[in-house]
Amino acid sequence: QVQLVESGGGLVQPGGSLRLSCAATDSSLDYYAIGWFRQAPGKEREGVSCINQLEESADYANSVNGRFTIARDRAKAMVYLQMDSLTPEDAGIYYCAATPSFRQCSLRREWYKSWGQGTQVAVSS
């Protein structure tokens, strides 16, 4: 299993932006489909966005579509989640997840084999 590290979380005011990063400790992220998930206190972990290995497709939860953007940087072997127009409902721990797949990605957490430890996102004035 690949070891994942998330970064970029923090405290932001409503309407603000954050960019989360996901990296593999062995720089192998290019070989995996990547998903971003979040978990708020007392709630189940939910899929936010995903991107397949070939960058042919990406998917977004309805709640973030149009505000969040997922992207790969192959030169840096990173996957980013750009989050704009943040609301308090976006707060939680954000996790990246990986699974070997060329053409698919999924917002279902059971689809992924490897998970990072998470990064905290707080949205408050």
Q: How does DSSP classify residue 117?
A: -
User: Which residues are CB-neighbours of 48 under 8 A, at least 6 positions away?
Assistant: 35, 36, 37, 38, 60, 61, 64, 68, 81, 94, 107
Decide: 24 and 77 in contact? Cβ < 8 Å.
yes
Residue 82 has pLDDT above 90, yes or no: yes
Question: What digits encode the pLDDT tens for the residues 13-23?
Answer: 999 999 999 99
For residue 114, which of 33, 9, 46 has the smallest C-alpha distance?
33
Cα–Cα distance measured from residue 12 to residue 16, given in angstroms and rounded to the nearest whole number: 6
Question: What digits encode the pLDDT tens for the residues 40-71?
Answer: 999 999 999 999 988 778 999 999 999 999 99
- What is the arithmetic mean of pLDDT over 113-125? 97
Q: What is the pLDDT of residue 111?
A: 96
Mean confidence (pLDDT) of the chain? 94
Cα–Cα distance measured from residue 6 to residue 123, given in angstroms and rounded to the nearest whole number: 18
User: Which residues are CB-neighbours of 75 under 8 A, at least 6 positions away?
Assistant: none
Q: Which of 23-27, 38-42, 103-107, 113-117 has the lowest mean pLDDT?
A: 23-27
Residue 97 has pLDDT above 90, yes or no: yes
Cα–Cα distance measured from residue 2 to residue 68, given in angstroms and rounded to the nearest whole number: 25
Q: What is the pLDDT of residue 74?
A: 87
b/e sequence 1-23, b meaning 16+ C-beta within 10 Å: ebebebebbeebeeeeebebbbb
